[in-house]
Amino acid sequence: MRQTRPVRQTLVVTLTGFCALISLGGLPGCALYIKMNDGNRIRTTSAEFSDYAARVFRLHNKVTTDLAYALDEIEFSDESNGAFSRLIDADDRMLQACSAVDDVAIARRDGNRVSLRQLNRAAKFIADCESATIEAERLIAMVESG
């Protein structure tokens, strides 16, 4: 069975990443445009992108925490209806989709230099991170409602 990260460790990583995501909007000289999930395209150097990145990050942080608690609750209640494995799968999809964003957050947390390539990759995949996070949030709500 896969081990989940402790909630405290998850919060440290995600809170550190918040600052990294906000800084994505200030990429000097970068003309990268991203397509948000609502279909709009925004420039990564815009204030709108900074707001979007912050919104996605806050949602990702909340859902990561909610998912950890939901997994603990299901594991301790010894439910065998497949909810645990569905939540683990959602967590895996979210971790994969958000890996570029997490890479920037971890590098910043550890005091390492973050390259423009890493920042651009994180910006490029932030909409995928948002989608996977929303999917996980919906699954948590379904599992908790019965």
Backbone torsions φ then ψ of 101, nearest 5 degrees: -70, -45
Q: Where are the domains of the chain?
A: 50-146
Contacts of 143 (CB under 8 A, 6+ apart): 70, 74, 83, 86, 87
97: nearest Cα among 136, 69, 68 = 136
Backbone torsions φ then ψ of 34, nearest 5 degrees: -120, 155
* Residues 105-118: tens digit of each pLDDT: 788 788 898 888 88
* Residues 13-32: tens digit of each pLDDT: 444 454 445 444 444 445 57
Reading the block at residue 56, the tokens are 């996605």
What does the alpha-carbon distance between residue 114 and residue 18 come to, in Å, rounded to a whole number? Answer: 14
Q: Which of the following CATH numbers is that of domain 50-146: 1.20.120, 1.20.1270, 3.30.420, 2.70.50?
A: 1.20.1270
At 4, the pLDDT band (50, 70, 90 cuts) reads low
